[in-house]
A = this chain, B = another copy of it.
Amino acid sequence: MPTLSERQKTLLMLIIRDYIDTAQPIGSKRLAEHYHINLSSATIRNEMAALTEMGYLRQPHTSAGRVPTEEGYRYFVSEMMHSAQLPEAVQHTISHQFYQSRPELDQWMTLAASILASQSQGVSVVAAPHVESTKFKHVELISTQGRQVLMVLVMLGGEVSQQILTLAEPVAQERLSGAATRLNGLLAGQTTQAISSLTVRPDPLDQDILLLILQDMRRLTEKASGEIYTDGLTNILGEPEFSEVDGPRRALKIFEEPATLQDLLAKTTSNSNVGALQVLIGGEGEYDDLRQCSLVIARYGVPGMATGVLGVLGPMRMAYSRTIPTVRFVAGLLSDLVSDNISGE
């Protein structure tokens, strides 16, 4: 791609900013009048023609104003990426909300989703941190009825997994407690790998439970990502580009298929570092249902330990200058929270 002159760059940025605001094709005259550039509309027209030639702009019809192409948005985003900053006041408000909430994961996730959605006016997605390596801390077995047993498994990081087991035959609570106590002693602090090579003797029940524990621990680490929290679904319904019926349906249906969504989140950020921020514009050719959308997405957490993904989906014409710093800031905040929680032990 050819390089832009300073003037072209200014113009391009201006056009895109204006288009993001107004959702209307931008014409040369309007540009010359509205912003006090010392250029006539004719000159601007020439530059616009050049920018169109280079693929950054596009004309919906022969005689309409210009509209950014995906390429244009990419340029815009890469230019403003570093400069965009969230106002201090907003940062404080957000931090405050987090430190005031109850210190529980689902509270944080819900809050993060809510903040992202309201700040960006888009649809937010927050995937709970996915544990990459986990260590056993504690197991509890509680007989509920007949052959059913409630198993509560606590990991060192503080994750809790509960599951109802159905045993082959009823087992008394005392025997369950015994097994739990023995296993707790034996497994404390062990990784999945270490546990998988163990064999337990005294009671055959112990070995059964051990396998179930392993299975649960594997389930925790194998899932592509944690539970998904979402907010602001109705935000995009108001956007003018989604005034036709089908646009929003296609975009929103992604949120109804958790599998697809997790796949998307996993794929797009699997090779990116925590702290880095990705902007997917127009589905990047890969996701047809997102062709009209953009996705600002970041990985958060502690690499190698527990990381999650969060982001905002909106129309391609989204308020990047607001969304990008917000996503970055919230990701940082969640990283700190996750890190605090893990480092506790």
A206 contacts B by Cβ under 8 Å: no
Chain B residue with minimal CB distance to A138? Answer: B142
A70 contacts B by Cβ under 8 Å: no
Chain B residue with minimal CB distance to A340? Answer: B145
Is there an interface contact between A344 and B145, defined as CB atoms closer than 8 Å? yes
Contact of A253 among B158, B160, B234 (CB under 8 A): B234
Number of interface residues, chain A, beta carbon within 8 A? 36
Is there an interface contact between B103 and A344, defined as CB atoms closer than 8 Å? no
A238 contacts B by Cβ under 8 Å: yes
How many Å lie between the Cα of A231 and that of B256 in the bound state? 7
A24 contacts B by Cβ under 8 Å: no
Chain B residue with minimal CB distance to A157? Answer: B144
Chain B residues near A64 (CB, 8 Å)?
none
Per-position 1/0 for A101-138, Cβ under 8 A of B:
01110000000000000000000000000000000011
A243 contacts B by Cβ under 8 Å: yes
A345 contacts B by Cβ under 8 Å: yes
A54 contacts B by Cβ under 8 Å: no
Mark out the residues of chain A between 225 and 253 whose CB falls within 8 Å of any chain B CB in the assembled complex: 231-234, 237-238, 243, 245, 248-249, 252-253
Is there an interface contact between B345 and A163, defined as CB atoms closer than 8 Å? no
Contact of A152 among B144, B146, B152, B256 (CB under 8 A): B152
A278 contacts B by Cβ under 8 Å: no
A140 contacts B by Cβ under 8 Å: yes
A150 contacts B by Cβ under 8 Å: yes
- A336 CB to nearest B CB, Å: 15
Knowing A142-B137, A253-B234, say if A103 contacts B160 (CB, 8 Å): no
Contact of A233 among B140, B144, B256 (CB under 8 A): B256
Copies in the complex: 2
A154 contacts B by Cβ under 8 Å: yes
Chain B residue with minimal CB distance to A144? Answer: B158
Is there an interface contact between B237 and A245, defined as CB atoms closer than 8 Å? yes
A46 contacts B by Cβ under 8 Å: no
Chain B residue with minimal CB distance to A232? Answer: B256
Is there an interface contact between B256 and A237, defined as CB atoms closer than 8 Å? no
Mark out the residues of chain A between 155 and 182 whose CB falls within 8 Å of any chain B CB in the assembled complex: 158, 160, 162-164, 166
Chain B residue with minimal CB distance to A254? Answer: B234
- A151 CB to nearest B CB, Å: 11
How many Å lie between the Cα of A255 and that of B140 in the bound state? 36
A8 contacts B by Cβ under 8 Å: no
Cross-chain pairs A/B with CB under 8 angstroms, 25 sampled: A103-B164, A103-B166, A104-B163, A137-B142, A138-B142, A140-B140, A140-B152, A145-B345, A146-B344, A148-B344, A150-B154, A152-B152, A152-B160, A158-B164, A162-B162, A231-B256, A232-B256, A233-B255, A233-B256, A234-B249, A234-B253, A234-B256, A237-B245, A238-B245, A243-B245
